[in-house]
Structure 1
Amino acid sequence: MRILVVGASGFLGGEVARRAHLAGHRVVGTYLRGPGSSAAAWWVRLDVRERARVRDLVAAEQPQVVVNAAYRQSEWTATADGAAHVAAAAAEHGAHLVHVSSDAVFSGAAEHYDESAVPDPITPYGAAKAAAETAVRALHPQAALVRTSLILGHGASVHERRVHALASGEQDGVLFTDDVRCPVHVDDLARALLELAQQERGGMFHAVGQDTISRHELGVLIARRDGLDPDALPAGLRARTGPPGALRVHLDSAATRKILRTELRGARRFLV
């Protein structure tokens, strides 16, 4: 199978590309600033904000599947417009699309959000991701949209690096006890995305870990796993100090789990 991984130089995209390559698929991976170090993909520079360039790449490569793991948290055009450009190109050339979305599309006002929940974002990034979902659904109705949460694994994630920096005193700050998410391991998430790709499933999916856990408790688990002192991790309240955003966002993934063979482990299990 020919797979185009948009954003393959990133943490999640790189793992998707690696696993697809190991499974025997032909992988083209895109990057913006610099190619990834893996030999799993044929690397191509792509700025998803450039609609014509996206269309030309998909036309040239003729992938059977496009996995879009690209985003720039601070930039609407990359997150929202870029998603629309990828969806339009995939639909035009008959490629199945797996689009990665985020729990940032929700405010946290509800007790939990299942796959049918309507986005109610309260941050610019959440609004951009919600707009991307709308565009993908309109332009590529058969696409799989996959909402996820904090992505961890192999010590390489943003949160894991931050825990190490806080524990060593290299960085100031706190880990919030009231900022609650459903972390997922990058291995599990990449497998789930490829499973949805191979089955050519469409619709909305929630691919998150089974544990709902605060950023501080998550940091404690990381510290214990890595032989650091959990007591060195400062705790605080996001509601008191910011930044603004949702506090508790619990993605209900029951419907998604019923159709996946991939197990989506909880953080209390994979951080041991």
Structure 2
Amino acid sequence: MRVLVVGASGLLGGEVCRQAVAAGDRVVGTYRSNPVELAGVEPRRIEVRDRSAVCALLSEVRPDAVLSTAYDNTDWATTADGAAHVALAAVGAGARLVHLSSDALHAGRPEPYGDDVPPSPVHMYGAAKAAAETAVRAIDPGAALVRTSLILGEGSKQLQLCRDALAGRATLFADQIRCPVDVGDLAAAVRELAATDHAGTINVAGADAVNRVELGLLVARRDGLDPVGLRSGTMAAAGVRQPADVRLDSTRAAALLRTRLRGVTEFLAA
């Protein structure tokens, strides 16, 4: 396969590239500001907010599959408009599209979220992700839209947040619950979805639901850090408006894919 990974300089995009190269695919990886330096990957600088540039790149590369992982949680145009531009270009190139979405588009509730639950964003990033899904589905009804959770792996912002909280430099919220996923598991699932005809949303998250404090304690145990100094609190007390309890039910992905989505307690112990 000839694969185009949009956002190859990110944690997930980089892992997708590495796995694709190892599988013998021809890989082109895009970046905006941080150059891609991965063996076997052809790096291409692109601004996803520039529709004509994105369309020109895909017209040139003619990929079999486009794995779209680029986002910016502070920039609507990158997250929402950029996703639409990639979808439009993928359709024009006749490429299979797998778009990465997020559990951030849900408001939070006591019950787990199924794959097809409509978005209910409560902050800007969640709204941008919801808008991105709407655009991608309208432009390319055959695309797979992967809703995932906290992505963990070396270099992950999520792991660094835990380490900062253990050092007293940040706060982890006990009322913020997620289903963290290992970056290697997620990358394998994304690549596998590219070879299927699945269309629409699908949850691809870890098997365990943990709150942020529990995650910090798991990281402390894995890294041999003293958990006594972990700074914790609640979003309610801090007045933070973010989704609280967002658990993704990945039953459909487990039935469809060969990739096993491990729980956080398992992959952090590995």
Settle same-fold status: TM greater than 0.5. yes
> Is 1:226 the counterpart of 2:223 in the alignment?
yes
**Does the C-alpha gap of structure 1 residues 250 and 8 become closer, same or farther in structure 2, counting only changes over 3 Å?**
same
Partner Cα distance (1:204, 1:247) in 2: 21
Structure 1 counterpart of 2:188, one-letter code: R
Q: Which residue of 2 aligns with 1:182?
A: 179
> Is 1:99 the counterpart of 2:87 in the alignment?
no
Partner Cα distance (1:55, 1:121) in 2: 29
Partner Cα distance (1:232, 1:117) in 2: 38
What are the residue-to-residue correspondences of 1:105-124 with 2, within 5 Å? Answer: 105-109=105-109, 111-124=111-124
Q: Secondary structure at the match of 1:117?
A: coil
Partner Cα distance (1:30, 1:242) in 2: 38
Partner Cα distance (1:108, 1:153) in 2: 24
Partner Cα distance (1:214, 1:177) in 2: 6
8 Å contact from structure 2 (residues 105, 129) kept in 1: yes
Partner Cα distance (1:184, 1:98) in 2: 18
Alpha-carbon deviations, 1:201-221, whole Å to 9, x = none?
322111000101001100100
Q: Number of paired residues? A: 269
> Is 1:158 the counterpart of 2:181 in the alignment?
no
Q: Which residue of 1 aligns with 2:14?
A: 14
Per-residue deviation, 1:110: 5.3
Partner Cα distance (2:18, 2:184) in 1: 10
Alpha-carbon deviations, 1:35-59, whole Å to 9, x = none?
1231231000011000000000000
8 Å contact from structure 2 (residues 206, 264) kept in 1: yes
Partner Cα distance (2:250, 2:89) in 1: 29
Per-residue deviation, 1:164: 2.2
Q: Which residue of 2 aligns with 1:246?
A: 243
Structure 1 gaps of 5+ residues are none
Structure 2 counterpart of 1:35, one-letter code: P
Partner Cα distance (1:165, 1:110) in 2: 28
Per-residue deviation, 1:182: 0.4
Q: Which residue of 1 aligns with 2:256?
A: 259
Alpha-carbon deviations, 1:200-259, whole Å to 9, x = none?
432211100010100110010011001101122111101211431111001111112110
> Is 1:235 the counterpart of 2:232 in the alignment?
yes
8 Å contact from structure 1 (residues 239, 247) kept in 2: no
Q: Which residue of 1 aligns with 2:43?
A: 43
What are the residue-to-residue correspondences of 1:76-95 with 2, within 5 Å? Answer: 76-95=76-95
Structure 2 counterpart of 1:186, one-letter code: V
Structure 2 counterpart of 1:48, one-letter code: V
Structure 2 gaps of 5+ residues are none
Partner Cα distance (1:187, 1:112) in 2: 23
Q: Which residue of 1 aligns with 2:207?
A: 210
Q: Secondary structure at the match of 1:118?
A: coil
Q: Secondary structure at the match of 2:101?
A: strand
Output the TM-score relative to the length of structure 1: 0.96
Q: Secondary structure at the match of 2:195?
A: helix
Output the TM-score relative to the length of structure 2: 0.97
Q: Secondary structure at the match of 1:14?
A: helix
8 Å contact from structure 2 (residues 176, 212) kept in 1: yes
**Does the C-alpha gap of structure 1 residues 2 and 212 become closer, same or farther in structure 2, counting only changes over 3 Å?**
same
Per-residue deviation, 1:161: 1.5
Structure 2 counterpart of 1:243, one-letter code: V
CA-atom RMSD, angstroms? 1.1
The ranges of structure 1 where at least 4 consecutive aligned residues each deviate by more than 4 angstroms after the TM superposition are none
Q: Secondary structure at the match of 1:240?
A: helix
